[in-house]
């Protein structure tokens, strides 16, 4: 079984709709992250959480919110989706140590 899972894997929605993307991990890591990937731009950090009570904004948090429901679960919400939020979204986790992050398979979101 995958260590970091994301649901849904694909989603098409309309402008103005509220969307939630979910991430679960079985790695036992405290740190979790949400990124978005756009062609030619690499990955940009949206939000990150170091533990259940810790939530921090990344470089592009506007239009997004998150919830850390448990150590293993970190969800990303788009309160009112807009077309320029069409992207590939990745969840990642990390433990302490060398800081390497482990990524989920991604959610492809299309906002029409």
Least Å from the CB of residue 106 to other proteins: 5
Under the criterion CB under 8 A, does residue 102 sit at the interface with other proteins? Answer: yes
Q: What three-state secondary structure class fits 84?
A: helix
Give the single-character DSSP code of 3. S
Q: Which range touches other proteins (CB under 8 A), out of 18-26, 64-72, 77-85, 96-104? A: 96-104
What residues are paired with 56 via a beta bridge?
48
* Pair 29, 93: CB distance under 8 Å: yes
Select from 50, 82, 83, 112 the one that contacts other proteins (CB under 8 A): 50
Distance of alpha carbon 18 from alpha carbon 99, whole angstroms: 33
Under the criterion CB under 8 A, does residue 31 sit at the interface with other proteins? Answer: yes
Binding region for other proteins (CB under 8 A): 4, 31, 40-45, 48, 50, 58, 90, 92, 94, 98-106
């Amino acid at each position: 079984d995958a260590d970091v899972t994301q649901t849904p894997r694909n989603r098409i929605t309309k402008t103005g709709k509220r969307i939630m993307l979910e991430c679960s991990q079985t790695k036992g890591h405290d740190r979790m992250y949400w990124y978005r990937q756009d062609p030619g731009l690499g990955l940009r950090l949206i939000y990150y959480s170091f533990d259940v009570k810790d939530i921090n904004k990344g470089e592009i948090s506007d239009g997004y919110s998150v919830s850390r429901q448990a150590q293993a679960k970190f969800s990303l919400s788009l309160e009112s989706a807009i077309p320029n939020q069409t992207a590939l979204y990745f969840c990642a986790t990390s433990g302490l140590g060398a800081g390497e992050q482990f990524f989920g398979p991604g959610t492809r979101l299309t906002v029409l």
